[in-house]
Chains A and B, each alone.
Chain A
């Protein structure tokens, strides 16, 4: 069976040593979520229902064990737990066209990707999630997690990230095109421009002025988003 299909139960059947290693991976994930202020412990308000969650296990190509805590988006109720969920994705032909244009104009291309991008998404709704399986806070087992940021698996996670990215690019002088909402352009008075292609968390920058492209990249990375 593929590691990605494992459940917490399957982990429980492994050798003690392996179980410990996976548990360590789960702790690392929870630490990362805590560091990003994704949620805080809270009482479930009466009448609210907490969203369920699920552990996803993954073996990276270098053998590193990774555990992801994801929300069970299908247990969310429309109109209550989420509203709009559409988020634009760049078209393949736009990516190829800009790359071809860059080749034609001899522009340099810079790339970056955003680590755990969806955790940057701020939530509009007040959402509660159950405490993760096997990691309930002792003495507070009845409490739930009040979500501050969009965790992976939520219906609106992609849209929330998109909104966050759109805002931070706007602050840097970029605006998206009508032809494709995944292409952002910042035009400067001297006629030069910087083009940004966004494919969810993969970002490509290009433009006629190499220094300007590099400085925009740095600005974007410094802009509170710990991107690599």
Chain B
């Protein structure tokens, strides 16, 4: 990871590593791609058994992409975690789609994660889920995907994208679980900042599901949510204790949307700006 300062901004990138893997996979001069995956693409699992050579090639691409994603690429969080699910049994098509991700990376290689010291924005988080749209499971169970990211000085410091392990019966339930997981990370941030002698009053969470927010703020037992496991009521307790506050935003403004589904270029590029990824002429 490379750290640079310029005009009160901190730039974080992995360009030397990125250049190395682009060269290694023969994509150094690849054609540009606006988004990591083609619009509307949903990967399907492979019923057969993958060839050993293909599998090992796929795993090495995914490994490199995961490292980039975890380091400085919140824009790849959804894409790479989704594609990584097929690492044990990939199709030729999955490998082709990782080429698309590399094309996207090649065209954004001059971008860095920028922490703008001139902004005084504190810590906040956006949380979202997408109900029952996961097709990657070998048994074709329709799980939901959840995602959230934390932002400090207007750039992402932590991101998360994951397929939920249990089946939700409604989008409200999927969102409620996402909020609860997000609250766990809020708690970690609260501990971190109080240990640094900078305690925060509360962490604001932005979500777009009015149903889930209502259920989190009001300990009601409704039909839609009464079967939910106890551990997911963590969000209720955290709100009650005043550790977090949940606010509603319109779906189109919810940046965390890009951590739960494969967005088209318009929304993707709009949300990416909020993550603090900026063009950085080196």
Contacts and interface: CB of A to CB of B under 8 A. Distances in A.
**7 A-B pairs with least C-beta separation:** A179-B192, A103-B115, A103-B117, A93-B158, A100-B152, A96-B157, A100-B115
B157 A100 contact: yes
Interface string A35-62: 0000000000000000000000000000
A170 B195 CA distance: 17
Contacts of B40: none
A80 interface: no
A123 interface: no
Given A103-B115, A185-B196, A97 B158 contact: yes
Contacts of B156: 96
B195 A102 contact: no
A89 to B, nearest CB: 12
A46 to B, nearest CB: 45
25 contacts: A93-B157, A94-B192, A95-B1, A96-B113, A96-B115, A97-B157, A99-B10, A100-B153, A100-B155, A102-B10, A103-B9, A103-B10, A103-B115, A103-B117, A103-B153, A104-B115, A104-B119, A104-B153, A106-B8, A111-B3, A177-B196, A179-B195, A180-B192, A193-B197, A204-B3
B74 to A, nearest CB: 10
Interface in B123-149: none
Nearest to A98: B196
A96 B158 contact: yes
Interface in A152-196: 177-180, 183, 185, 187, 191, 193, 195
B12 interface: yes
A179 B191 contact: yes
Nearest to A202: B1
Counting chain B CB atoms within 10 Å of each CB, which of A95, A101, A111 scores highest?
Answer: A101
Interface string B8-40: 111010000000000000000000000000000
A204 B196 CA distance: 16
Counting chain B CB atoms within 10 Å of each CB, which of A99, A101, A102, A103 scores highest?
Answer: A103
Nearest to B154: A100
A104 B121 CA distance: 8
Contacts of B153: 100, 103-104
A100 B170 CA distance: 37
Given A92-B70, A104-B152, A109-B5, A99 B12 contact: yes
Contacts of B155: 100
Nearest to B116: A103
Counting chain B CB atoms within 10 Å of each CB, which of A96, A101, A187 scores highest?
Answer: A96
Contact of A177 (B117, B152, B195): B195
A183 B119 CA distance: 25
Contacts of A92: 70-71
A94 B191 CA distance: 12
B47 interface: no
A76 to B, nearest CB: 26
A178 B122 CA distance: 22
A35 B166 CA distance: 58
A179 B197 CA distance: 13
Contacts of A187: 197
A96 B197 CA distance: 18
